[in-house]
Amino acid sequence: MKTLTKAEEEVMQILWRLKKSSVKALIKEFPDPKPAYNTVSTIVRILENKGYVDYEKKGKSHLYFPVLQKNDYSNQSINQLVNNYFQGSFKSMVSFFVDKNDVDVSDIESLLKEINNKKE
């Protein structure tokens, strides 16, 4: 799976939320200042070429929709983060966040409960 640029991921986040959208409707979802139509259109075509987005024709327009589900991309991104920065160790990643981000003990306890429930 190819990594998304920041701009591509921003478009994907909007598409995942909307499920299906024209370029014009996508632009309305961006914060001000809005990107140019041609910019968003180009990004959508790049996403289409990468296999992340497809479209259906609606009159003279195209409605774009995500082919890749957000959950699948999130999983791939997290695994890449763990592999690139924590030598493939989720334990190292969690330890890092505990040390550097002042993680609340109740959050850790909640995670442990979720892990234990998955084992059952």
- What structural domains and CATH numbers belong to the chain? 6-66 (1.10.10.10), 70-119 (no CATH)
Indicate the SS3 state at residue 95. Answer: helix
Q: Of 16, 10, 9, 48, which is closest to residue 56 (Cα–Cα)?
A: 48
Q: Of 4, 5, 40, which is closest to residue 23 (Cα–Cα)?
A: 40
With cut-offs at 50, 70 and 90, classify the pLDDT of residue 45.
very high
Q: What is the mean pLDDT of residues 5-32?
A: 96
Express each pLDDT in 86-117 by its tens digit.
999 988 888 888 888 777 778 888 888 888 88
Which residue's entry shows tokens 């990107």?
Answer: 35
The one-letter amino acid code at 86 reads: F
Q: What is the value of pTM for the model shown?
A: 0.78
Query: Quick count: other Cβ atoms within 10 Å of Cβ 119?
Result: 5
The one-letter amino acid code at 70 reads: K
